[in-house]
Amino acid sequence: MSENNPDILEHNRRINQLTRKVARLEMSMNTLEQSIEPQGWISQAFEKFEEHLDEQDRKINRLEQNINHNFAELRSSLSHIIDHLTNISDLFEE
């Protein structure tokens, strides 16, 4: 008899609705926790990005060293060329 009572049916419907809402909130909370935790996908993305930046820094440092080395070789070569062309290795300054 209580099964047909409209108040009880509405009450049961509301309880079921709230139960489903709590279940969805729990799933959302679990998803957020998994995303934010140190081993979550957000942390993993930052780690990958940091690794990428570190690799780019290493490449830039190697390129800078190569450029510095090449300029030093170029200066030396130009100095030899100028010395050879002018037959002057050192000019008097006074």
**CA-based torsion, 54, 58, 59, 63: positive or negative:** positive
Which pLDDT does position 17 carry in this prediction? Answer: 95
Pick from 13-17, 56-60, 64-68, 89-93: least confident: 89-93
pLDDT at 91: 63
Q: Tokens for 45?
A: 């993305």
Instruction: Say how far apart CA 89 and CA 94 lie, in whole Å.
Output: 16
Give, in degrees to the nearest 5, the angle at Cα 82 between 79 and 87: 120
In the prediction, which pLDDT does 4 show?
A: 75
The pLDDT, as a whole number, for residue 81 is 87
Whole-angstrom CA distances from 78 to 41, 63, 66, 84 are: 55, 22, 18, 10
Q: What is the pLDDT of residues 26-82, one digit of tens each?
A: 999 888 887 777 777 777 888 899 999 999 999 999 999 999 999 999 999 998 888
Per-residue model confidence (pLDDT) at position 87: 74
Q: If you ran DSSP here, which 8-state letter would residue 90 be given?
A: -
Question: DSSP code of 22?
Answer: H
- pTM greater than the 0.75 cutoff: no
